[in-house]
Amino acid sequence: MQLKTELYRRLERYVKVDTQSDERSGTFPSTHRQLVLARMLADELRAVGAKKVRLDRYGYVTAEVPATVKGRKPVIGLLAHMDTAPAAPGKGVKPQLHRAWKGGDIVISRRLGVVLNVRGCPELAAHKGEDIVTASGDTLLGADDKAGLAIIMTAAEYLLKHPEVPHGTLKIGFTPDEEVGRGVEHFDVKAFGADAAYTVDGDVTGTVEEETFNADGLTLKVAGKSVHPGSAKNAMANAARVAAEIVASWPENLLPETTEGREGFVMFTDIAAETEKAEVSGIVRDHDLKKLKAMERQLEAIVAAARLKHPLAKIELSFKEQYRNMKAVISRRPEVMSNLLAAVRAAGLTPEIKPVRGGTDGSRLSFMGLPTPNVFTGGYNYHGRYEWVSLDGMNKSLEVLINLARKWAE
């Protein structure tokens, strides 16, 4: 299957629409501009012949590709998000296609000195000879996740044009606001009507994801005792210093900047402090829930020691659940992953299962009752000026989706 031209035409069209989301917004979707792309996608779904195309008041675009086989088969959902990350400029994206990359520097912008090569991105090395797409140095590309949109749209068009390919009912869902962590807040899992789903929002070709972090938030509050510093001996408790001491006592090998793979961490994200009171917020992350809880006990022990050392201060530490590792839900339905792995192999690739160091829309959907692993798009270096996607990788991802549709109908 060779649909690279179609994939590129779509990617090019989608990345030119600014769909940056905004974490400070109180509306849903968080930015109005996402609806411009939502309307475009809904029109395009109608044009390729998808059924039940709908754009609802939250900006969710849903549609159906009807089954080509008789009898009750599991209904499979395919999902991608329309927004781009607030972390880098997303307006005025000018995509560039670097055909048949020979292995040297990919000059994204000579003027701005933005050059992509294997030194800066070792993952690129495996993609010699492929067509690489980048932006132009002053914005992100937005392959995260417009590559996903293009892949799903092209898969839908292909299946609608090829009724000889056996598959059950497929549901398509394009969602806003993934990058600000609210992507499925209003998503109606029941109305969507899928038995299992896949987000097409991963990265390097061949990788699939069924595991996310377990995530808790933390709040540390210190109430101090303010006394004139000239007469403070044995009478003052300086909340700012007590809070700083606790933060500095956390082991250096359990921080985001010193961990990778399956290693968990605590990150202190905000400190507001004065003599009378201090408040620290942070996050706790680990793929293993037991290890997450053990890190929390470890921080509690540090706090307990600080209480003994500073009896005049009042110190409170609390944790709040944010999300849980979706593997717990996905592994209850083994065929969700076994069909995906078989589909990746049938595309001629060796699947690599990678733990996500974060959350995905799929983790929330999984706990809403819809098991949803994540499939690669062929892209990398997301959320910045060095973002790239391989058109050949996108084409492989498309093949995986077609194989997956077949697999579920067996």
Interface with Zn ion by CB under 5 A: which residues?
144-145, 201
Catalytic residue among 178, 203, 209, 211: 178
CA angle 380, 177, 213 (to 5 degrees): 60
Task: Give the three-class secondary structure for 299.
Answer: helix
Catalytic residue among 44, 83, 157, 392: 83
- Is 224 or 359 the residue whose CB approaches Zn ion more closely? 359
Q: Is 177 a catalytic residue?
A: no
* CB 143, min distance to Zn ion, A: 9
* CB 90, min distance to Zn ion, A: 13
Spatial separation of the C-alpha atoms in residues 35 and 59, rounded to whole Å: 6
Question: Residue holding tokens 């390097």?
Answer: 204
Let me know if 84 is exposed, middle or buried by CB neighbors in 10 A (0-12, 13-18, 19+).
Answer: buried
Spatial separation of the C-alpha atoms in residues 331 and 337, rounded to whole Å: 8
Phi, psi of 133 (to 5 degrees): -110, 135
Q: Is 178 a catalytic residue?
A: yes
Given a contact cutoff of 8 angstroms between Cβ atoms, the answer to whether 108 and 205 are in contact is: no
Q: 134, 197, 189, 147: which is closest to 170 by C-alpha? A: 197
CB atoms within 10 A of CB 318: 10
- Is 145 or 209 the residue whose CB approaches Zn ion more closely? 145
- Is 64 or 201 the residue whose CB approaches Zn ion more closely? 201
Q: 177, 94, 107, 97: which is closest to 139 by C-alpha? A: 94
Give how far the C-alpha of residue 386 lies from the chain's centroid of Cα atoms, to the nearest Å.
Answer: 17
- Is 76 or 180 the residue whose CB approaches Zn ion more closely? 180
- Is 74 or 181 the residue whose CB approaches Zn ion more closely? 181
- Is 131 or 145 the residue whose CB approaches Zn ion more closely? 145
* CB 240, min distance to Zn ion, A: 38
* CB 242, min distance to Zn ion, A: 39
CB burial string 91-105: b at 16+ within 10 A, e below? eebebbebeebeeee
- Is 81 or 127 the residue whose CB approaches Zn ion more closely? 81
| Sign of the Cα pseudo-torsion (53, 55, 61, 62, in order) | negative
* CB 81, min distance to Zn ion, A: 6
- Using DSSP bridges, classify how beta strands 114-116 and 265-273 pair: parallel, antiparallel or unpaired: unpaired
CA angle 134, 119, 112 (to 5 degrees): 45
* CB 323, min distance to Zn ion, A: 16
Given a contact cutoff of 8 angstroms between Cβ atoms, the answer to whether 79 and 199 are in contact is: yes
- Is 144 or 211 the residue whose CB approaches Zn ion more closely? 144
Residues in Cβ contact with 184 at an 8 Å cutoff, skipping those fewer than 6 apart: 175, 361, 364, 365, 368
* CB 178, min distance to Zn ion, A: 6
CB atoms within 10 A of CB 30: 22
Spatial separation of the C-alpha atoms in residues 410 and 406, rounded to whole Å: 7
Spatial separation of the C-alpha atoms in residues 281 and 347, rounded to whole Å: 45
Structure token pair of residue 108: 């994204």
Given a contact cutoff of 8 angstroms between Cβ atoms, the answer to whether 211 and 315 are in contact is: no
* CB 101, min distance to Zn ion, A: 23
Catalytic residue numbers read: 83, 178
